[in-house]
Amino acid sequence: MRFCLAATVALIAVHSLCAADLTGKWVVTAAVAPANNETAYYIAATGNTFTGYLKQGQNSSAIADGKVDGDYVTFAIVRGDVKTIYTGKLAGDTLTITLPAGSGRGFGGGRGRGPAFGFGTPPAANVAPAQLTEQIARRVSAEAPPPLPIPPAKETLMPPAAGVKYDGLAKTPPMGWNSWNKFQARVSDQVVRDVADAMVKTGMRDAGYLYVNIDDTWEGTRDAQGNIRSNEKFPDMKALADYVHSKGLKLGIYSSPGPKTCAGYEGSYQHEAQDARTWAAWGIDYLKYDWCSATQVYTPDSQPGAYAKMGQALFDAGLASGHAMVYSLCQYGQVDVGTWGANAGGNLWRTTGDISDNWASMSNIGFNLQLGREKFAGPGHWNDPDMLEIGNGGMNDTEYRTHMSLWSLLAAPLLAGNDLRSVAPDILEILTNKEVIAIDQDALGRQAVQISKDGDAQVWDRPLADGSMAVGLFNLGSTPIPVTAAWSALKITGSWNARDLWAHADRGAGTDAVWANVPPHGVVLLKLTK
C-alpha cells in the first residue's frame, strides 16, 4: 500500500513523495520473550506521518513524530518525559528497526583488552560496548489499531507502622551467582544445574558462594487458582531446588511487585502472599523483587508499602514452612531506599541502575554512587551496588580485581554473574581470593568510606571486627601512580603491619603512612593490623 501525492510528478521525485502506508499491527519476531509477552507496534498512518503505540506485554508507550520517507522510517517512543528516537527500514511487510544504544540489553565483547597494565594511554577499553541491536517487525494485520489502552488509576500503598520483622538472615552480605549478567533470557533448568555443578567443582561454593539465583524469564502463566507456574524452560522448580540443595547450595528466584517483570513476564501484583507460599513450597531460599512495571499500578511513594507487602508475605511463608528467604529489593536506589529498605524486610537493596561489564559503569557505581550510603549497611541489611561482572570479558584482570576489592570493601553482596561452566583460572582466582572475601564477609559489617581523594588516587577504609582495617589504594586513572594512605587520614597512630591481600604477602610495618605504586584502574588492597 502506497500513497503517492501526485502521479504526474517527475520520476526522480517519486522516492520522497510516495509513502508506504504503515497502518496495522507489526509484531516483533525473534524477541527473547515467549508468545504471552508479545511486543508489537500498533500504527495509524496518514500520508507520510504516523502515530500509535508500542505494546510490550501489558505495557504500552506512545509513538510520536512518526515519519516515512520512501523505505525509511523514523519515530520516537515516549516513556514518561523521555523520548527515544528509533529508525527503521521497510521491505514489504517487514520493518527492520534499529534500536538506539542503551535501549537493548547488550553483552560485553571478547575477554580482556591486552596486558594487565601498561604505560601511556591504554587501548580504548573503557568505552561501553556498543549496544546497537536490530528488531524485525512483521505486519500481521493492516487494520487501524484500537485506541491506546487507558492506564488504570494508581494505588498508594503505605508500609505497616511497625515494619516487617527481621528474618535473621544475611548476617554477612549474601554470596552466590545470578543468571542475568551473562545469560539474560537464556537461563534454563539445565543452565542452573550446570552452574550448580560448576560451583562445587571450581571451589566457588567452598569459597562461600552459596546462592544460585535465577533472575528474570523463568515465569510462566498462572493456573485457574492464580498459582504462578514456571515456563517451559523450567519444567519442575521443586526438583530443581532439590538438586541445587543436594549440592550444598541454595536457590534464588525473581519477581516484581508489578503485573509484569522488566522482561515482560508475569509479576506478583495482587498475588504476593500466594507467590511467597509457592516459592516456599518449592524450596526457594532467596527472592530478588524488581520494581519494573509496578510504576504503572502504584504511585512512587508506594515503594516502601509495596516492598513491605512482599516482605511480610515472605516472612509469613518462611515462618509457616520453616524456610526463611533472603529478600533482595531491586528498585535502583530510588526514594531513599536506605532509609526504609530494612523496615520493609529487605536484607539488601540495589542502590543504582544496572551495572554493565565495562570500567565506566563499574567505577561510577562503585566509587561515586555509594558515597554516604554506609550509614544504612549492617548485619542483615546491605547496600547492593549490583552483581559482579568479573569474567564477562569487558574489563581486564586489573579492573576486575578493582571490582572485587571495592565490592568487598563496600560490604556488598558478592553475586558472580559470569559463565561458571567455563571459567578461566585467572577469573576464578579473582573470585575466590579468600583473603579478599574475608573482608567482604567481616562480622562487624561496616561498609568502607572514602577517606581521601587526590586526582585519580582514592583511599577507602573499612574497619574490621578484630580491630584491624582493610584499606584500598585505588588508581582510577590511565597511568600508574603512587597512592598513599596517611595514618592521619585513617585516624590511627603507632606502628601497623600491612598485608597485601592480592599478593598474599606481608609488607612489614609503618608508623605514619603506607603507599604503593598502583597500575591504571588498579588497586593495592591491604589489611592493616596493629
Give the total of residues touching ligand GLA (CB under 6 A).
9
Q: Determine, following the binding rule CB under 6 A, whether residue 215 of this chain makes contact with ligand GLA.
A: yes
Q: Determine, following the binding rule CB under 6 A, whether residue 440 of this chain makes contact with ligand GLA.
A: no
State the residue for C-alpha cell 580491630.
467
Q: Determine, following the binding rule CB under 6 A, whether residue 329 of this chain makes contact with ligand GLA.
A: no
Smallest gap from residue 217 Cβ to ligand GLA (A) = 7
Contacting range for ligand GLA; rule: CB under 6 A; set: 196-204, 222-230, 259-267, 443-451: 259-267
Q: Determine, following the binding rule CB under 6 A, whether residue 180 of this chain makes contact with ligand GLA.
A: yes
By CB neighbour count within 10 A (0-12 exposed, 13-18 middle, 19+ buried), where does 268 fall? buried
Tell which one of 263, 329, 348, 457 touches ligand GLA (CB under 6 A).
263
Q: Determine, following the binding rule CB under 6 A, whether residue 400 of this chain makes contact with ligand GLA.
A: no
The pairing of beta strand 457-463 with beta strand 39-46: unpaired
**Contact flags string 338-377 toward ligand GLA, x per CB under 6 A:** ----------------x-----------------------
Contacting range for ligand GLA; rule: CB under 6 A; set: 62-70, 260-268, 425-433, 440-448: 260-268
Q: Determine, following the binding rule CB under 6 A, whether residue 290 of this chain makes contact with ligand GLA.
A: yes
Q: Determine, following the binding rule CB under 6 A, whether residue 330 of this chain makes contact with ligand GLA.
A: yes
Let me know: does 513 contact 473? Beta carbons within 8 Å: no
Long-range CB pairs of 197-201, under 8 A, 24+ apart, other chains included: 197/247, 198/420, 198/421, 198/423, 199/247, 199/249, 199/420, 200/247, 200/248, 200/249
Contacting range for ligand GLA; rule: CB under 6 A; set: 159-167, 255-263, 278-286, 299-307: 255-263
The pairing of beta strand 469-475 with beta strand 457-463: antiparallel
How far is CA 126 from its chain centroid? 19
Q: Determine, following the binding rule CB under 6 A, whether residue 262 of this chain makes contact with ligand GLA.
A: yes
Active site residue 336: no
By CB neighbour count within 10 A (0-12 exposed, 13-18 middle, 19+ buried), where does 385 fall? buried
Smallest gap from residue 487 Cβ to ligand GLA (A) = 40
Q: Determine, following the binding rule CB under 6 A, whether residue 384 of this chain makes contact with ligand GLA.
A: no
Active site residue 290: yes
Looking at beta carbons only, is 51 or 184 nearer to ligand GLA?
A: 184
Q: Determine, following the binding rule CB under 6 A, whether residue 32 of this chain makes contact with ligand GLA.
A: no
For the chain, state the CA radius of gyration: 26
Looking at beta carbons only, is 189 or 215 nearer to ligand GLA?
A: 215
CA distances from 486 to 254, 452, 463, 497 (A): 44, 9, 15, 14
Catalytic residue among 275, 290, 357, 440: 290
Smallest gap from residue 290 Cβ to ligand GLA (A) = 5
357 contacts: CB under 8 Å, gap ≥ 6: 107, 108, 129, 181, 389, 392, 393, 394, 395
How far is CA 165 from its chain centroid? 27
| Phi, psi values for residue 529, rounded to 5° | -125, 135
Q: Residue 360 is inside which H or E element, if any?
A: helix 359-363
Site of interaction with ligand GLA (CB under 6 A): 180, 215-216, 261-263, 290, 330, 354
Q: Which residues are catalytic?
A: 290, 354
